Structure 1
Amino acid sequence: MKKITKQQYLKPNDAVSPPDPSGEVWTPPQPSKGERTFKLTSKGSVRGFVVLDGVRVNFESRAEYKACLVIRSRPDTLRVVEQSPRVEYVDADGKLRTHVFDLKVFRRDGSVVAVDVKPAAKVESSGIREMHSLIARQISPKIASQLLVFTERMYTRSDFYNAELMLGVARQHCAEDDEAILKLVARMTGPMKVADLVGKSGRKGYGFNAVVRAISAGRLVMTERRRIDYAAVVVPAPLH
């Protein structure tokens, strides 16, 4: 084992961007906004939570975890709340039932989508579409304007890779890096490779992270559905 001196050990790591000044060492996430709670320990499924937009979002399965990240990573999504909404409806036999959706998705256009996450192979046998059809005729548009059955066929491996990348990079916010990239975005007149954008920024790897955050925020748009990497091509998002 190679020994190092105390001076070498205490040398700042220039591969890690210093954090923005803050009055707090750590800001805990807000508690879950979900209408249904459950124990995170389970022998039969993967359970846990992820912090999205400063709020704790719990998940009961790997499929729900992926759905949370993929849906949140889409530019038209504002925020995601798990285990919501809870609705009452009358079933085909005239009985009053209660159903809690897996996700409540708030979109930037003001609409709300109630989502159930299901493996594609189980959608037909579960009867979830028939239940959604009944609920759709009874639910108030104030609660949800659209119902969706979300399966693994609705996203690619690249979509999930990008979603996890966006989540990780969001934790490394640096105002100077973001400002440098956004100044370049404002001057873009057409498509540009991520590598060229990062190079022009002079921020190296930090510039790449800032590009990812710009894509996540909807300031940049990928020209094709693929992984976000240096070879990817982006364009400025159209102004509304």
Structure 2
Amino acid sequence: MTDLSLGGGIRLPAASRGNRDTQVGSTHHFSGGIVLGDGCGVRYGLESHLEACAALLLSYRQDVAEITEQVLFEWFDEDGVIHKHFIDFIKLSPNGTKVGYAVRPTARVSARYLAELSRIKEQAIGQGYLADFRLFTEADVCPIELFNAKLFHSVRRPDCFGDVVAQDVFNKMKGVVTVGQLVSECGIEGMGFRAVVRLIKSGHLQMLNYERISYETMVFKASLI
């Protein structure tokens, strides 16, 4: 990645890794971009609100190393004619497994579209290009997971002071405690809350229940720092 610096020392995100440029603007549907990943991150182009949700959900799951959007895959129909298909997202797992996602609302999922995806899936898996190819619709958007993904995204930047304080509290904690208790022990209010959330995101803290992260959320130590 090229390190582009401005006068104030700001590092720009890396360019999209996709094989197709997404629309910058549209009068008919949502379009935009998001920066994901550690450090200065990588820019991702988005062409629907559902794609924005999918990008957030996939990127903040523990089993995901990275995602790439708009990846070209060439497939052939029953007559042997080659077609281009841009896979909306490909998820790369830490073990190297790649899973593709076609993002589309259920209202726009026709029998013809499903048949085409099925053919693409068969060829992508057969060629060893993907381990699986899945359809992602609004039914796959869990409100709880999306809330937490948005929270993780909002606190993604490290804090050289708050993180050190939270890690010290983390090292001393025992048993199951609430996020609020840890924040109180940090003694730095909002900075402490954000640092504790980052510990949940990193997997060092694990939630006892599946819920929206709040001060009442109960957590326990899952791994050492």
Shorter chain as normaliser: what TM range?
A: 0.7 to 0.9
> Residue 62 of structure 2: which of 54, 57, 75 is its match?
75
Alignment: residue pair count: 213
> Residue 183 of structure 2: which of 198, 223, 229 is its match?
198
Instruction: Give 3-state SS (helix, strand or coil) of 1:175's partner.
Output: coil
Q: Which moved more, 1:59-68 or 1:108-117?
A: 108-117
The 5 Å alignment of 1:37-116 reads 37-53=21-37, 54-84=41-71, 86-116=72-102
Conserved in 2, the CA contact under 8 Å of 1:76 and 1:109? no
Distance 1:25 1:113, change over 3 A: same
Q: CA deviation at 1:83?
A: 0.8
Distance 1:226 1:126, change over 3 A: farther
Is 1:157 the counterpart of 2:136? The answer is no
Distance 1:33 1:129, change over 3 A: same
Q: Which residue pairs with 1:182 in the alignment?
A: 167
Q: CA deviation at 1:133?
A: 2.7
Conserved in 1, the CA contact under 8 Å of 2:22 and 2:46? no
Q: Which residue pairs with 1:13 in the alignment?
A: none
Q: Which residue pairs with 2:219 in the alignment?
A: 234
TM-score by length of 2: 0.85
Q: Which residue pairs with 2:3 in the alignment?
A: none
Q: Which residue pairs with 2:105 in the alignment?
A: 119
Alpha-carbon distance in structure 2 between the residues aligned to 1:199 and 1:87 = 51
Distance 1:238 1:151, change over 3 A: farther
User: What is the CA deviation profile of residues 3-29 of structure 1, one whole-angstrom value per residue up to 9, with x for unaligned ones?
Assistant: xxxxxxxxxxxxxxxxxxxx9531111
Alpha-carbon distance in structure 2 between the residues aligned to 1:91 and 1:236 = 52
RMSD (CA atoms): 2.1
Instruction: Give 3-state SS (helix, strand or coil) of 2:161's partner.
Output: helix
Q: CA deviation at 1:149?
A: 1.1
Q: Give, as a single letter, the amino acid of the residue that structure 1 aligns with 2:123.
A: Q
Alpha-carbon distance in structure 2 between the residues aligned to 1:160 and 1:169 = 14
Q: CA deviation at 1:126?
A: 5.3
Higher relative contact order (Cα pairs below 8 Å, separated by 6+ residues): 1
Q: Give, as a single letter, the amino acid of the residue that structure 2 aligns with 1:65.
A: A
Alpha-carbon distance in structure 1 between the residues aligned to 2:94 and 2:73 = 23
User: What is the CA deviation profile of residues 178-228 of structure 1, one whole-angstrom value per residue up to 9, with x for unaligned ones?
Assistant: 222233334444322110111122222101101111222222222222211
Instruction: Give 3-state SS (helix, strand or coil) of 1:77's partner.
Output: coil
Alpha-carbon distance in structure 1 between the residues aligned to 2:133 and 2:205 = 28
Alpha-carbon distance in structure 2 between the residues aligned to 1:119 and 1:191 = 40
Structure of larger gyration radius? 1
Q: Which residue pairs with 1:35 in the alignment?
A: 19
Structure 2: gaps of 5 or more residues: 1-6
Alpha-carbon distance in structure 2 between the residues aligned to 1:61 and 1:126 = 21
User: What is the CA deviation profile of residues 43-84 of structure 1, one whole-angstrom value per residue up to 9, with x for unaligned ones?
Assistant: 111111111111111100111011101111212122222112
Structure 1: gaps of 5 or more residues: 1-22
Q: CA deviation at 1:93?
A: 4.0
Q: CA deviation at 1:103?
A: 0.8
